[in-house]
Amino acid sequence: MADLASSLHPFLQTLQDQSAQSLVQALKPQTVTDRVAVLLFLLSAFGYLSRGRVWDKPDPYHNVWFERPQQEGGNTSHKRTETSRDVSQRLEEGKYQCVIFWGSQSGTSERFAEALGRECSSRFGINALVADLSDFEPESISSISQNHFAIFLLSTYGEGDPSDNTTGLWDWIKSIKDNEKSLSNLRYLAFGLGNSNYKYYNRVLDVVADALDATGATALIPRGRADDATGGTEEDFQAWKDDVFALFRKMGYAERPIKYEPSIEVSFTTGEEPHESTTSVTHQKSNLNSSIASLPIRNARELFTAGDRNCIHLELDLGHHELGYKTGDHIGIWPTNPDQEVNRLFEVLGLTARRQETVKITALDGSCKNKLPPLTTLEAAFRHHLEICAPVPRKTFVDIAEFAASPDVKSKLLYYGQDRDRYAQLAASTHLNFARLLQLVGPGHVWNSLPLSFVLDTLLPLQPRYYSISSSSVISPRRIAVTALVVNHNLSPESVIHGLASNYLLSATKLPNNASGPSPSYSLQESPESEGGRLYAHVRKSKFKLPLTSSTPLVLISAGTGFAPFRAFIAERAKLHALGKPVGHMLVFFGCRSAESDYIYRDELEKFQTQLGDRLEIVTAFSRDGNKKVYVQDRVAENSTRVLEMLDAGANMYICGKASMAREVDRKLEDAKVASGSGESEVKAWTDALKKRGKWKADVWG
């Protein structure tokens, strides 16, 4: 047997070799298609095996996206180190007497909460915990004892929506109403921030306070409301705060004399130089969807054909920046303060000679957020970082009085600061920013007695101004179009409030100024490669989006520059139509003053009309053509039957422009629905259902 196996071995080995060769030959690619398939297989295998090693590596800083952002380089002592999310436990451990909760989308409620917390301490010795609502479990509010009390400062935006950091409280409030939970131990005060131009004015405040009352909580004073429609948010808060302080006196808290206590230490330094980024806004790391980039201006042009106003179109070139956008998003423009106001502030403070010197800013209060880089120049602070053009609230009059150089100046400050009506009358007739106020009460006086820390503490941080993007990311992915009305508000022949960002844009584009008076000048970023300057900007994501299906009909309602996103919507639909895609009918309502002067993008609309034919229908409203004023909401009312039919058939409706216009459009359509036989409760359910499904959207302001 061994001999047999030995003799068969060469034969078997030959068969095995031939089989292996046949297998290799069979597996060997025979055609170009086979070779491509093998290559793709090998690349896929390499990609799978190298993921996380060569590419798509885990971001070690991924967690930062889920933390409350802080400013780069700033003092970090204010970051919360406590881990407890039980507010009642925090109150006990920190020996706090009260908690001030804030819910904010733009930062105003947060600013009010921080200011109120400081005043509670300095004026009444009340140790207040200033708390972001998202930092605590809302259920723990029910455990707050009667030895403490809670203050709620709540913003409402959009269609009666809570701010992002209020969603946890919002859900909990609904649950306690359903579960009939008792909150009889809770004592509270509540103040809401809203705009009466919106249909659901201060809805968040009312929903929360009504639920607390229904579950046995005790409101220590009536709820307060701010109305931004009249520009009275600061004054409304001040009036409510006066009632709060009156309550504290009744509760037995002794009031101390008002004295300024700095939250920052400011010193001039020659040993350290600020980083280049601190001379602009690029150091900012607030609640942004994207980084801030310096972008060159392209294709700037005037849109109005007559009159004494400007409406400008410009495009920002994204180039190779990582910045990107989607149709319907917003662009945040970071303006600089005009030369005249920067110079005015330096002169009245007696700091002109020190404007280029470096200042070092150190936070003294652990809860204080830095609004300035730790090292910067005074020039950069006043030009790029602080709202030096903003109107001065009444409280600032009283605060400045502490540093008045003479009894006469102090008397003037208190005369207006301690009387709401006098202040309102002055503010209605005079443009009062910080520097102008100092000039008004002390003509020719240099305020070198005013601490620089007070000035930097008092002035608000400069904020971006948002514009609806008027270009389509499908057609123009690396260009962002901006449509801006240049605003100049005449209080009197001698006093004009120039819109900060819009005049900044006009200056940057180098287009002629159509206004009768002079326009402010700005220190601009030069851009040799373009016809205009450069702008700092970032992109803010929006839910104001086209439906995924291009065949969905659209109802588009706008007035003035509210047409901006619809320019992008129509252009994108026209492009899809040119590519052979099915496009739904678009009924467009547009309103402006006159067909001859401010019908923006009229030539483009006519081209779209030619391309799209009966798929695009335009209904116009002109408020200053002829003897009768016709507004866009009037045209909607005239065509309400068609609009309702389109909505019932599955169309999407979008409204963009001033909030007052959007509110009127809502009312006209609801009236038409009632006239068709529906009850008021049915109409409300109908509109709520459309909005919940994203079929009725609004992008409005003011």
Structural contact between residues 543 and 536, judged by C-beta atoms closer than 8 angstroms: no
In three state form, how does the secondary structure of 164-224 look?
A: HHHHHHHHHHHHHHHHCCCCCCCEEEEEEEECCCCCCCCHHHHHHHHHHHHCCCEECCCCE
Same domain, residue pair 371 and 341: yes
Same domain, residue pair 573 and 444: no
Structural contact between residues 326 and 498, judged by C-beta atoms closer than 8 angstroms: no
- pLDDT(171) > 60: yes
Weakest-pLDDT range from 51-60, 130-139, 207-216, 317-326: 51-60
Whether residue 409 lies inside any domain: the answer is: yes
Whether residue 499 lies inside any domain: the answer is: no
Q: What mean pLDDT is predicted for residues 364-381?
A: 83
Q: What mean pLDDT is predicted for residues 566-592?
A: 97
> CA torsion 272→275→279→281, rounded to 10°?
-140
C-alpha–C-alpha distance, residues 444 and 567, integer Å: 51
- pLDDT(2) > 70: no
Place of tokens 């070198």: 448
By three-state DSSP, how is residue 394 classified?
helix
Q: What mean pLDDT is predicted for residues 342-352?
A: 97
Whether residue 12 lies inside any domain: the answer is: no
pLDDT digits (tens, 9 = 90+) for 259-308: 888 889 999 988 777 765 555 566 554 446 578 999 999 999 999 998 89
Q: Please give the pLDDT value at position 561.
A: 97
pLDDT digits (tens, 9 = 90+) for 423-460: 989 988 888 999 999 999 999 899 998 999 999 999 99
Q: What mean pLDDT is predicted for residues 330-347?
A: 97
Same domain, residue pair 195 and 273: no
CA distances from 531 to 23, 331, 395 (A): 68, 20, 44
The backbone torsions φ and ψ at residue 488, rounded to the nearest 5 degrees and listed phi first, read -140, 110
Q: What mean pLDDT is predicted for residues 541-562?
A: 96
Q: Please give the pLDDT value at position 198.
A: 83
Report the DSSP pairing between strands 311-317 and 479-485.
Answer: antiparallel
C-alpha–C-alpha distance, residues 171 and 60, integer Å: 32
Closest CA to 520 of 505, 534, 537: 505
pLDDT digits (tens, 9 = 90+) for 50-72: 554 544 444 433 333 333 333 33
Place of tokens 């301690």: 418
Residue 213's CATH number = 3.40.50.360
Same domain, residue pair 246 and 268: no
Q: Please give the pLDDT value at position 58.
A: 44
Structure-block tokens of residue 515: 């206004």
Whether residue 349 lies inside any domain: the answer is: yes
* Concatenated DSSP letters of 422-488: HHHHHHHHS---HHHHHHHHSTT---TTS-HHHHHHHSPBP--EEEEB-S-TTT-TTEEEEEEEPPE
Q: Please give the pLDDT value at position 549.
A: 96
Structural contact between residues 261 and 513, judged by C-beta atoms closer than 8 angstroms: no
Q: Which of 423, 438, 458 lies at the terminal end of a domain, its last residue?
A: 458
- pLDDT(224) > 80: yes
Same domain, residue pair 368 and 439: yes
Domain count, the chain: 3
C-alpha–C-alpha distance, residues 384 and 335, integer Å: 8
CB atoms within 10 A of CB 285: 15
Report which of residues 628 and 9 the model is more confident about: 628
Residues whose CB is less than 8 angstroms from the CB of residue 645 and which lie 6 or more positions away in sequence, other chains included:
none
Structural contact between residues 376 and 358, judged by C-beta atoms closer than 8 angstroms: yes
Place of tokens 């971006």: 464
Q: Please give the pLDDT value at position 223.
A: 96
Whether residue 200 lies inside any domain: the answer is: yes
Q: Which of 458, 474, 503 lies at the terminal end of a domain, its last residue?
A: 458
Q: Please give the pLDDT value at position 628.
A: 86
CA distances from 421 to 121, 190, 194, 428, 434 (A): 28, 25, 22, 11, 20
Same domain, residue pair 269 and 376: yes
Residue 447's CATH number = 1.20.990.10
Structure-block tokens of residue 28: 């060997």
Which sign does the torsion angle of CA 533, 534, 540, 543 carry? positive
By three-state DSSP, how is residue 155 classified?
strand
Percent of the chain with pLDDT over 90: 68
Report the DSSP pairing between strands 652-658 and 696-701.
Answer: parallel
Q: Please give the pLDDT value at position 67.
A: 33
Domain that holds residue 226: 87-250
pLDDT averaged over the chain?
A: 86
Q: Please give the pLDDT value at position 61.
A: 35
Q: What mean pLDDT is predicted for residues 83-108?
A: 91
> CA torsion 112→116→119→121, rounded to 10°?
-140
Q: What mean pLDDT is predicted for residues 498-520?
A: 92
C-alpha–C-alpha distance, residues 507 and 364, integer Å: 39
Report which of residues 399 and 31 the model is more confident about: 399
Same domain, residue pair 210 and 241: yes
CA distances from 261 to 115, 322, 454, 702 (A): 12, 43, 9, 35
Structure-block tokens of residue 386: 């602080």
Same domain, residue pair 233 and 270: no
Closest CA to 486 of 464, 470, 509, 469: 509
Residue 651's CATH number = 3.40.50.80
Same domain, residue pair 245 and 149: yes
Q: Please give the pLDDT value at position 89.
A: 94
Closest CA to 700 of 115, 15, 197: 197
- pLDDT(121) > 70: yes
Structure-block tokens of residue 280: 């602009």
Q: Which of 458, 480, 501 lies at the terminal end of a domain, its last residue?
A: 458
Of 429-433, 492-496, 639-643, which has the strongest mean pLDDT? 639-643
Closest CA to 99 of 123, 132, 67: 132
Whether residue 432 lies inside any domain: the answer is: yes
Same domain, residue pair 93 and 221: yes
Structure-block tokens of residue 275: 């980083």
Percent of the chain with pLDDT over 70: 84
Structure-block tokens of residue 400: 């400045």
Whether residue 464 lies inside any domain: the answer is: no
Same domain, residue pair 230 and 198: yes
Q: Please give the pLDDT value at position 290.
A: 73
C-alpha–C-alpha distance, residues 474 and 491, integer Å: 43
CB atoms within 10 A of CB 52: 9
Q: Count H helices and E strands in the chain, helices first.
A: 21, 23
Place 664 in a pLDDT band, splitting at 50, 70 and 90. Answer: very high
- Classify residue 617 as exposed, middle or buried by CB count within 10 Å of its CB (0-12, 13-18, 19+): middle
Amino acid at 687: T
Same domain, residue pair 146 and 202: yes
Residues whose CB is less than 8 angstroms from the CB of residue 573 and which lie 6 or more positions away in sequence, other chains included:
546, 550, 554, 583, 586, 612, 615
CA distances from 43 to 40, 52, 56 (A): 5, 16, 16
Whether residue 323 lies inside any domain: the answer is: no
